[in-house]
């Protein structure tokens, strides 16, 4: 066990000091691309500035034969793309490295950190099983940062893709001050859990509850009844949200593999947003707009939140007391909920001029 006093000391001589807080940078869409795919790579420069995170994927979905090309392609992009990555950039640069037990993970880190460590913001680690995986990456990153002379620690993001990872969720989140957040890996997780879905994220029509029959007669039991589809991922996302909030880091949904079904994609993303996630993944350019829309509070919600803040301020501004607004009671707790909304809106508007205009218009109106 490490002493609390050691927790914020670098794990290698000359490595940057670990962070005491993880900045709440906009990350509504983490857009995945395969750096070994020339068509995808060619689109990256034009996406800078219009998506919060561009992630060079090196793991699953990249063919084994292309692993080296993907790594090298990402180096090329990280070194030569104007405005991408680094603490001041509007569009962060992330990577998903290969799994720690694969033949590629070590070379991924030892290649990327010296070459693009100054622009790489977050390393996403797949199939994290427990704190030991984060400790390994933590020490290795510190050694590589020291060697490369970096002055800013690279953050770590874990994907939950195994039952063991979910069972160890709190220790994973607390394993290093570098921990930035968690994403759901629904396909690997479903396989590991022996769930019986073959989809990459999203709902399932068989996971439902059915309205009671009008009577126990055979005719009524077989009659048409309303069914309500349930969310297969509710339990896992809820655990992620609590573990992340407890550790001051950020939960994300993950992939929605039915690229054509933009409507269900939006619904699934919104469930995660409402539960507390700050963003999601985008696998195809058309999912970026969906993620940005869903993970930015609506103009109506922001306007309402501002009214509650104003009403509570008029009451004295210290949060105590209660007011009635549109027939509803508002007090300290609802004020705090509204401040979550207003602060998120302000943070996003600071880097998204379109949103800033919408929120400003709502305030004037």
**Is residue 33 within 8 Å of residue 55, measured between CB atoms?**
yes
Residue 192, C-beta contacts closer than 8 angstroms, at least 6 positions apart? 161, 162, 163
Per CB under 5 A, the list member of 121, 145, 188, 330 interacting with Mg ion is: 188
CB 48 within 8 A of CB 91: yes
Q: Is 188 annotated as a binding residue?
A: yes
Among the listed ranges 84-92, 184-192, 214-222, 241-249, the one in contact with ligand CQM (CB under 6 A) is 184-192
Burial class (CB in 10 A: 0-12, 13-18, 19+), 101: exposed
**Of the candidate residues 22, 33, 112, 169, the single one contacting ligand CQM (CB under 6 A):** 33
CB of 44 to ligand CQM, least distance (A): 7
User: x/- binding map, residues 270-309, to ligand CQM, per CB under 6 A?
Assistant: -------------xxx------------------------
Binders of ligand CQM in range 149-168 (CB under 6 A): 159, 161
Backbone angles phi, psi at 101, to 5 degrees: -95, 10
d(CA 240, CA 234): 10
Smallest distance, ligand CQM to C-beta of residue 184, A:
7
60 is in an annotated binding site: no
Kindly state whether residue 94 participates in binding ligand CQM, applying the rule CB under 6 A: no
| Residue 283 lies near Mg ion (rule: CB under 5 A) | no
Give the residue with the Cβ less far from ligand CQM, 61 or 325: 61
3-state SS string for 261-322: CHHHHHHHHHHHHHHCCCEEEECCHHHHHHHHHHCCCCHHHHHHHHHHHHHHHHCCCCCCCC
185 binds Mg ion per the rule CB under 5 A? yes
Site string for Mg ion, 161-180 (x = CB under 5 A): x-------------------
Hey, is 66 helix, strand or coil? helix
Residues forming beta bridges with residue 57, ordered by sequence position: 96
Binding pattern to Mg ion, positions 122-151, x when CB under 5 A? ------------------------------
Structure tokens at 249: 């880091």
Q: Using CB under 5 A as the criterion, which residues of the chain lie in contact with Mg ion when the complex forms?
A: 161, 185, 188
Binding site for ligand CQM (CB under 6 A): 32-33, 39-40, 43, 57, 60-61, 159, 161, 185-188, 200, 254-255, 259, 283-285
């Amino acid at each position: 066990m490490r002493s609390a006093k050691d927790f914020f000391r670098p794990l290698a001589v000359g490595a940057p000091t670990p962070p005491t807080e993880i900045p709440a940078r906009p990350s509504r869409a983490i857009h995945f691309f395969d750096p070994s795919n020339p068509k995808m790579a060619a689109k990256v420069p034009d996406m800078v500035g219009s998506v919060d995170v561009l992630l060079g994927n090196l793991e699953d979905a990249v063919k084994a034969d292309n692993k080296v090309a993907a790594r090298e392609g990402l180096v090329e992009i990280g070194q030569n793309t104007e405005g991408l990555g680094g603490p001041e950039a509007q569009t962060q640069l992330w990577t998903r490295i290969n799994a720690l037990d694969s033949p590629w993970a070590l070379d991924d880190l030892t290649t990327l950190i010296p070459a693009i460590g100054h622009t790489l913001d977050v390393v996403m680690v797949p199939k994290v099983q427990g704190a030991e995986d984060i400790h390994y990456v933590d020490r290795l990153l510190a050694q590589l940062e020291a060697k490369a002379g970096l002055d800013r620690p690279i953050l770590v993001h874990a994907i939950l893709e195994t039952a063991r990872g979910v069972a160890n969720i709190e220790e994973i989140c607390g394993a290093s001050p570098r921990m930035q957040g968690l994403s759901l890996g629904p396909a690997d997780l479903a396989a590991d859990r022996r769930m019986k879905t073959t989809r990459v994220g999203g709902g399932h029509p068989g996971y439902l509850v059915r309205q009671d029959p009008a009577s126990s007669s055979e005719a009524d039991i077989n009659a048409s009844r309303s069914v309500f589809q349930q969310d297969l991922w509710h339990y896992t996302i809820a655990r992620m949200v609590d573990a992340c909030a407890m550790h001051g880091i950020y939960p994300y949904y993950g992939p929605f593999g039915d690229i054509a079904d933009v409507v269900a994609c939006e619904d699934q993303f919104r469930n995660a947003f409402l539960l507390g996630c700050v963003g999601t993944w985008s696998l195809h350019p058309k999912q970026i707009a969906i993620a940005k829309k869903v993970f930015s509070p609506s103009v109506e919600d922001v306007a309402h939140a501002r009214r509650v803040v104003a009403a509570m301020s008029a009451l004295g501004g210290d949060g105590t007391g209660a007011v009635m607004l549109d027939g509803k009671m508002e007090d300290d707790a609802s004020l705090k909920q509204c401040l979550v909304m207003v602060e998120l809106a302000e943070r996003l508007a600071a880097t998204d001029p379109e949103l800033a205009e919408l929120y400003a218009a709502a305030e004037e109106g």
